[in-house]
Amino acid sequence: MTIDIPFIWIAFKEIVKSLPITLILTVVPLLIGFLIGIAVALVRVYQVKFLYRAANGYVSFFRGTPIIMHVMLIYFGFPLLINQISERFDLGIQANSIPIILFVLTALSLAAGAYLSEIIRSGILSVSNGQLEAAYSVGMTSFQAMIRIILPQALAQSIPNFTNIFVGFLHTSSIAFLVSEKEVTGAANIVASTNLKFLEAFIAAGMIYWGLTIIVEGISFLLEKRVTAYNRGGVS
């Protein structure tokens, strides 16, 4: 077997067309997961009654099982659930009319929420207690202190971790290929099997992922430098 180097470029051009789907599958779950993460982190930090147990269970389950399983559970389980509910309340919704990508986005968002909540929680815990006391001493409510003093510092300190998660989810989005969502890995597979050039196609896909990762790391570096300037004696 020989390697067809020019075909890598041909495959690249074909595969890169699916990049938007990969980006959607990365960015949307992380944005939704971020909101879930903040809510769950706050519930766990404040130990809100009852909700606290649910939040613990949620984080434990989604971090304790592979993301591929969440995708499968939701992809196969939700249609059943939706059809049942639709039947009972006569909503007239057909599960198979729902685009697959919504199931994948749901699964990835829930997983992202669990991972991000732990990052945000550890960020909150890393802000020194003195900051909170100072906020109280000038007469802030605990809500004001959290929003204006603790969270901004917690999130700024978490940027390297957010980058990690972003890169992780960029690669995890390839799982969607298993439920026939045509993102970068899915496209690579199609190009590979129609041309019977597997190595070349996956090299091309790998280059796309790697390139994206390098870009993301660069952005994160600049962002981190800007946002945490206060910590390093940088000028505002």
Contacts of 73 (CB under 8 A, 6+ apart): 107
Closest CB to other proteins among residues 88, 232: 232
Q: Half-sphere exposure of residue 21, counting CA atoms within 13 Å on the CB side?
A: 21
Closest distance of CB 145 from other proteins, Å: 9
Say how many residues touch other proteins, by CB under 8 A: 27
**What are the structure tokens assigned to 236, written together?**
């505002």
Closest distance of CB 136 from other proteins, Å: 6
Phi, psi of 207 (to 5 degrees): -60, -40
Find tokens 């990365």 and name the residue. 26
Closest CB to other proteins among residues 152, 168: 152
Query: Residue 194 is which amino acid?
Result: T
The region of 47-55, 146-154, 159-167, 176-184 touching other proteins under the rule CB under 8 A is: 146-154
- The answer to whether residue 6 forms part of the interface with other proteins (CB under 8 A) is no
Closest distance of CB 124 from other proteins, Å: 14
Cα 87 to Cα 59, 76, 82, 100, distances in angstroms = 31, 18, 8, 21
Query: Residue 12 is which amino acid?
Result: F
- The answer to whether residue 223 forms part of the interface with other proteins (CB under 8 A) is no
Beta carbons of 87 and 159 less than 8 angstroms apart: no
| Residue choice 149, 167, 176, 201 for contact with other proteins (CB under 8 A) | 149
| Binding to other proteins, residues 99-138 (CB under 8 A) | 128, 130-131, 133-138
Closest distance of CB 184 from other proteins, Å: 37
| Residue choice 84, 141, 193, 194 for contact with other proteins (CB under 8 A) | 141
How far apart, in whole angstroms, are the C-alpha atoms of residue 157 and residue 131?
A: 14
Helix (H) or strand (E) holding 189: helix 184-195
- The answer to whether residue 49 forms part of the interface with other proteins (CB under 8 A) is no
Binding-site ranges for other proteins (CB under 8 A): 128, 130-131, 133-142, 144, 148-149, 152-153, 156, 229-236
